Structure 1
Amino acid sequence: MTAAAPFPHADDRAAAVCALLGSPDDLEDPDVRDPAERARDLLRSGASADELSTSYRDLDVALRRAGDARGLVNESRSARVPGISHDIKVAVCPGPAQCTRVERARDLLPAPPCAVNGTRMRKRRLGPRQ
């Protein structure tokens, strides 16, 4: 049994870098901007496949660390599909005595109970900037 490659095609990664560089909101974080610009420079210079692969991997890690669950090529960076979001649905503290507890919220299940406030936590979307 063989493992699948982490990225489908080199062209997909180059297109994802292009879309990322065209989105100023995604480049506000210097930890993302620097690897994106490095990947762009390698693409422009005609770098080897190994250099590009390393650069893409670094950019993918930087995006995920910055909270972008898509990484570099999970779903198209340039298109939005109705009903699909890169935000994560979470359950947060519902009461006036706010705690910092955050739990992943499942779509079809109720939010978990909050032991402090004696009620269910409320669901909300947690985007990459939070």
Structure 2
Amino acid sequence: MTASPYLPRPDRAAAALCTLLGSPEDLRQPGVREAAERARDLLRSGADAGELADCYAALDTALRRSGDARGLAGGSRSVTAPGVAPHIKVAVCPGSPLCARVERARDLLPAPHCAVHGTRMRKSRLGSAQ
């Protein structure tokens, strides 16, 4: 089995590494602990991006060879690190002019009702301006 052709941005790979290092079950697989510790040591020492990318690729390969199809940052590993989320879903005003109301939007529930415009709010991703 070979490494994934896709490796995440360095900050996401570091978050996935952090999560992996906190998972004793994943580190028990042959070759994974050594590759993870090497990546951690390179990251701590301030290694250059190319060397880190090679190390992340080796760690990805070790994970896949041990039977973890997610590799380093596939599946849910990269999003379970504290404070890391791909996006936050919110419900925003559906009308024009827009008001500043923002509510958390749950995936399986409909957006809340907007009493001003008489329709459901629109689901969106939380942006930096909100």
Q: TM-score scaled by structure 1?
A: 0.55
Residue 9 of structure 2 corresponds to 9
Residue 43 of structure 1 corresponds to 43
Return the offset for 1:75: 2.2
Structure 1: runs of 5+ lacking an equivalent: 81-130
For residues 48 and 32 of structure 2, the distance between their equivalents in structure 1, rounded to whole angstroms, comes to 22
Structure 2: runs of 5+ lacking an equivalent: 81-130
For residues 79 and 56 of structure 1, the distance between their equivalents in structure 2, rounded to whole angstroms, comes to 17
Q: Which has the higher contact order (CA 8 A, sep 6+)?
A: 2
Select the structure of larger CA radius of gyration: 2
* Cα contact 2:13–2:78 (8 A) shared by 1: no
1:60-88 CA-to-partner distances (Å, cap 9, x unmatched) read: 000000000000011231657xxxxxxxx
The number of residue pairs the alignment matches comes to 76
Structure 1 runs (4+) deviating above 3 angstroms are none
Q: How large is the Cα RMSD of the aligned pairs?
A: 1.7
Residue 75 of structure 2 corresponds to 75
What is the SS of the residue equivalent to 1:6?
coil
For residues 78 and 52 of structure 2, the distance between their equivalents in structure 1, rounded to whole angstroms, comes to 21
Q: 1:78 to 1:6 in 2, by over 3 A?
A: closer
For residues 10 and 79 of structure 1, the distance between their equivalents in structure 2, rounded to whole angstroms, comes to 14
Residue 88 of structure 2 corresponds to none
